[in-house]
Amino acid sequence: MIRIYWLLKHINFLLSSNDYIFEYLYSRLDIGEQENMIRDFKIRTEQSEIIRSLMMPMAIHNMSPKICADVLGIHINTMQQRLKKMKDRLGIDPLHDIRNRALIHIYALQDQKKIIWNAGVIVQPDSILFQGLSHLSEILDKKSKGIFQLNIHTVATSGDNFRLFGLLRERDLDMAVGSTIGLRQLADMKISVLQYPFLFESEEEARFVLQNLVLPEVQSSLSEGDVLCFDIWSMGWRYLTSKNAPIIVPEDMKGRKIRILASDDIKEYFEEMGAVPVQIYYNNIREALASDMIECQENPYNNIWNMRIYEYQRYITEMKMFYSMEACCVARQSWSELDHSKQSMLKEAIRENSRWVLKQQKEVNQLARSSLLKEGLEIVVPTEEEIMMWKYKSQAIYEKTKYQDFLSKIEAMKSHYHRR
């Protein structure tokens, strides 16, 4: 606090200096001190875009009304009117008060402070998750005018979602997008329900339930932790692929070695059919298929195409059994270091980007489906009667789960969706 008083006391000298002493000393304050100096001023400033637009030109051009008017492309009389509005609304007169000038300089420093975040995924750059983060980076760059930079990394290359979110907790990453499976130990084990087969009938139904029930539940359970969840993305429906014969009914799984996600419930589901489920990481799928460690696997069309799984598989069973769900999360400490305006900007950017991801996911999966057909893969579509056989096999998971309350909420929200 002594540093703040010293800075304010010597404002006149520091602002008149040409060697950026003011900027340097201000940067030496911790984040909390910087925020406290202009917290109320900043909130009131950002309530008016006209007043906000004056801050940077005035800070750069030493409060000169004429130069600022030229920079903004407005008449000097208009500039004078805006300065009067600033005085009326904010109670400041930077042309005649050195402390008021300091407020504007500090506001400009905060507004232009470069933010560099590191975001991570565990699948290849062509995946919709990587594309989604890349698009989010573009949105942030545009909204912040280059101030907010998002660097994207393919990390935890083994495909370990638990390790991915661990890196987020440890602050090695500022943002991560990974399977909701990886949140089970951070949020609530009831999130395991999201991996159950035939949980949703359509993408639209899934999106409605995720937005109106699942996301708030996840956010609530993460409220005391090191991670915040802002949305749930999706890579789309995950489809079964096989090598020597198509999979149409549950009996076709008997004796087959299938790669599955890290879910004990899904393991038991396939074991009930006589299959041999193997939990291996995403990056090891091709190697496992090549060595016959597994005979089939399940993934969205785009992943099947990007991983060239078609080189080892011949059939795809097009059945809406599993819907991919990936959480878009931020490290709490990284979030807390953003000022109010940057937090609002990030929230808005994520919301905008999530709509893009949903649309883009459908397009890339459809394109991948067409490409797989050209490679000679055969797509088989089970009949309604055959699908009922798969659903019957899943009943045991639903009946014995410890999370009946959560499942009941999901069913109620699904009913609400269909009544709309």
Of 64, 91, 111, the position where a domain reaches its end is: 111
Q: Whats the size of the chain, residue-wise? A: 420
Q: Are 280 and 288 in contact (CB under 8 A)?
A: yes
User: Does residue 102 fall inside a structural domain?
Assistant: yes
The 10s digit of each residue's pLDDT in 345-392 is: 999 999 999 999 999 999 999 999 999 999 999 999 999 999 999 999
- In degrees and rounded to multiples of 5, residue 79 shows phi and psi of -60, -40
What CA–CA distance (Å, rounded) separates 166 from 9? 45
Q: Give the confidence band of 45 by pLDDT, cuts at 50, 70, 90.
A: confident
The strand pair at 297-299 and 257-260 is best described as unpaired
Q: Answer whether residue 130 is part of any domain.
A: no
End-to-end CA gap in the chain = 56
Confidence (pTM): 0.76
Q: Residue 284 is part of which domain span? A: 237-325+363-419
Is 128 inside a domain boundary?
Answer: no
- HEC states along 98-110? HHHHHHHHHHHHH
Residue 211 included in any domain: no
pLDDT at 56: 81
Percent of the chain at pLDDT > 90 equals 59
Same domain, 244 and 105: no
Are 242 and 106 within one domain? no
For the chain, how many structural domains are there in total? 2
pLDDT at residue 2, rounded to an integer: 42
Which of these three, 82, 111, 140, is where a domain ends? 111
What confidence score (pLDDT) does residue 158 get? 55
Q: Domain end: 60, 83, 111, which one?
A: 111
Whether 99 and 244 map to the same domain: the answer is no
Task: Let me know whether 101 and 245 are in one domain.
Answer: no
Q: Are residues 387 and 248 in the same domain?
A: yes
- Is 189 part of a structural domain of the chain? no
- Would residue 11 count as lying in a domain? yes
Residue 45 lies in a domain: yes
Q: What is the CA radius of gyration of the chain?
A: 27
CATH label of the domain that carries residue 264: 3.40.190.170
Give the mean model confidence (pLDDT) for residues 303-307: 92
Residue 69 within a domain: yes
User: Rounded to an integer, what distance in angstroms lies between the CA atom of residue 405 and that of residue 410?
Assistant: 9
Residue-wise pLDDT for 247-289, tens only, equals: 999 999 999 999 998 888 899 999 999 999 998 888 889 899 9
Inter-residue contact 185 to 192 (CB < 8 Å): no
Question: What is the CATH classification number for the domain harbouring 71?
Answer: 1.10.10
What's the pLDDT at 157?
53
